[in-house]
Structure 1
């Protein structure tokens, strides 16, 4: 019997939406119905846009302020319980969500964003939401926003994250691994576009940088959909000075791309639609957020090196990802170039990390969602 799923994402960058839409794709491919809603659109008019714009401005211009907010209201070290920062927002979205549930009639509601998890958890705890809620935790470090005990199930990217959920909420949590489209698991530069672009760039930059080397690794520098990072151009110059080819993924930030284009040796790119193809020709991903790009690199067999993470949940995620053995965290003198060169080419260090990365993809989260829907349907009959 086909089931219906309502996935609750948020347009805060691109990662949460990417996970929600990939899950919807998998569920539809099995003959079920799935729709994705942005929880920000459930808030009063203008509130969601103000929240997104404010968060983006803080992360871009005063990241330490966000780090302080995270430490005060989101970090699990402060203890479990509802977050004072999000409870009012969650309350504002409750009635609109109940109307959406009444209209769509899902068998399961699936939050892929922490505010969504707070809304469903509050409603489930009061009995106002009659269908189960399964939270898909996309972060490697689980903060308090994900941890409302009213939710029926949490699906996590690592066992460490699942254990954090279980110990805090007392509820079930399964380790499934990241949610990544299939095309990342066998990445190919189909028409040779990316190899040709890299070769042209290296040839053009040779007169400005160190001589071209047969072992000159291409390093993707991830900045997310918003082009956010700390001292990005300084890091790029350090990599170029150590015989690397820094490729800066600027997301949707055209100002960053144009500014970076003035620096010899650095290849800046706007929004990339064929990221699997580019990853197939790169050697390492330099990451500052442990977000969806890092998860995609794990699937593609591209070693991930965390460096200069953004404050808040990004820094916590970069550390958690490294502690789980899925990446390296590069700090100190000579970094990140030293770690990049260690992992860029075949050898024990690269082989160990890529094997651990592939092993992180344990099960398909869609299986757990369907099982939950089956159980809920059996109880209702």
Structure 2
């Protein structure tokens, strides 16, 4: 039998492993790639979903999306359950183990460091490090302000955080080497003056003299967007400007609701942020960081379950975004963010995140780890693989497995079969992944 392939250190090549679940993980990966390339490094980017077997990547993406849209309460239960348990179960471990060989084969043999912007990728890479099959250092860039325990994977050498709040959460979850290095955002997101704001409003056909609230709901347009848009309009403090991402049906519904400024996918988000006075968001991901970079105050309101709620709490704790918990406070907080001292404080706090010099940012930290390398990790014994692994039954939205890969978690210990099947609506959880089922408990590989 041939010896297992390993990837060792080099001097000029870095790999980034992300996942096309929404747009935040890929957005952070793209900006890290740009910065590392500017520093003279060759950068390879990979999508973990493309490296999953049996076409499972698309099922991961579609099923996670379907759960957020059709059964957000189910996502909340799963997120909270895995948070209390400190990680995933056997189904998730089996699914991620199935990607290890594929990831290792994809990496260039001269890769000097590997960066993950996605929890599932961190788990795959950490396992490869622990097994001694990947000798290049592994770093996780934490794209969220809140850190679910699944972000912290054994075998990852360094965790990079945008702020002291997520850094503290990562340490509490067991991360050893955590470094605060600031967020990443496309350089087009920067503060603008009145003249540039007026030009941006003219370009998008927006009123010059109104307070504009930019309402975003991620690239998928999920959450109670129609309700929030109506509340923004009816409170009288702002005029809502809604970005629906790829959810074109939502944009049409908003137009039917009388929301005058509703867009689908927008290529010029920096320009739209320049036109706005405040950002209202429900997930706390990359768009919030982009708003901070643009000098735009941010409010979290009617957040999606799971990471939307925990991100809102962490952003509020860090003092960079207001968390509006009570609809009765919406009007007052918006006035304060647009014209009052709260907005001034939050603009300053958001811009301060990006005040670090280029020598102290995430790309610089990656470069330092790449050049020096971490202390070697002791190889761990690898469980024997089945010679004829059982093939995993996959449908278009395998609820358990989908979420397990989508956020790197295992749901096998948090859900029962009837609830899960009802949540997605089509009996989509295969028996091999249903919590309590014998095959799930045995942890069969896919």
Same fold (TM over 0.5): yes
1:163 aligned partner: 168
Q: CA deviation at 1:176?
A: 1.5
Name the CA distance, whole Å, in 1 between partners of 2:16 and 2:127.
17
1:298 and 2:303 aligned: no
CA contact (8 A) 1:219 1:286 kept: yes
Q: CA deviation at 1:277?
A: 1.2
Q: What SS does the aligned partner of 1:228 have?
A: coil
Name the CA distance, whole Å, in 2 between partners of 1:311 and 1:84.
24
CA contact (8 A) 1:149 1:171 kept: no
CA contact (8 A) 1:187 1:277 kept: no
CA contact (8 A) 1:286 1:306 kept: yes
Name the CA distance, whole Å, in 1 between partners of 2:86 and 2:362.
25
Per-residue Cα deviation, 1:115-144 (whole angstroms, up to 9, x for no partner): 001111111122121111010010111012
CA contact (8 A) 1:251 1:272 kept: yes
Q: CA deviation at 1:192?
A: 5.4
1:375 aligned partner: 372
Per-residue Cα deviation, 1:151-183 (whole angstroms, up to 9, x for no partner): 000001221211222233251001112211111
Q: 1:333 to 1:229 in 2, by over 3 A?
A: closer
Q: 1:14 to 1:333 in 2, by over 3 A?
A: closer
1:125 aligned partner: 130
1:152 aligned partner: 157
Name the CA distance, whole Å, in 2 between partners of 1:279 and 1:85.
41
1:70 aligned partner: 79
Of 242, 245, 262 in structure 1, the residue corresponding to residue 235 of structure 2 is 242
Name the CA distance, whole Å, in 1 between partners of 2:321 and 2:341.
14
CA contact (8 A) 1:237 1:266 kept: no
Of 141, 146, 159 in structure 2, the residue corresponding to residue 141 of structure 1 is 146
Q: CA deviation at 1:268?
A: 0.4
Of 202, 215, 233 in structure 2, the residue corresponding to residue 196 of structure 1 is 202
Q: CA deviation at 1:2?
A: 5.5
Q: What SS does the aligned partner of 2:147 have?
A: coil
CA contact (8 A) 1:9 1:116 kept: yes
Q: CA deviation at 1:191?
A: 9.4
Q: CA deviation at 1:105?
A: 2.3
1:317 and 2:314 aligned: no
2:245 aligned partner: 251
Q: 1:354 to 1:186 in 2, by over 3 A?
A: closer
Q: 1:82 to 1:237 in 2, by over 3 A?
A: closer
CA contact (8 A) 1:236 1:266 kept: no
Name the CA distance, whole Å, in 2 between partners of 1:191 and 1:325.
25
Name the CA distance, whole Å, in 2 between partners of 1:242 and 1:93.
49
1:365 aligned partner: 362
The aligned runs of 1:32-71 (5 Å cut-off) are: 32-71=41-80
Per-residue Cα deviation, 1:323-347 (whole angstroms, up to 9, x for no partner): 11110000214242321111112x4
Larger relative contact order, structure 1 or 2 (CA cutoff 8 Å, min sep 6): 2
1:349 and 2:342 aligned: yes
CA contact (8 A) 1:107 1:377 kept: no
Which deviates the most, 357-366 or 135-144?
A: 357-366
RMSD: 2.2
Q: What SS does the aligned partner of 1:162 have?
A: helix
Q: CA deviation at 1:350?
A: 1.2
The aligned runs of 1:163-182 (5 Å cut-off) are: 163-182=168-187
Which deviates the most, 306-315 or 180-189?
A: 180-189
Per-residue Cα deviation, 1:246-283 (whole angstroms, up to 9, x for no partner): 01110011111111111224410111111111111101
1:262 aligned partner: 256
Q: How many residues align?
A: 361
CA contact (8 A) 2:112 2:370 kept: yes
2:411 aligned partner: none
Which deviates the most, 156-165 or 244-253?
A: 156-165
1:90 aligned partner: 96
Q: 1:337 to 1:164 in 2, by over 3 A?
A: same
Name the CA distance, whole Å, in 1 between partners of 2:28 and 2:333.
29
Q: 1:194 to 1:104 in 2, by over 3 A?
A: farther
In structure 2, list runs of 5 or more residues that go unmatched.
Answer: 1-9, 377-446
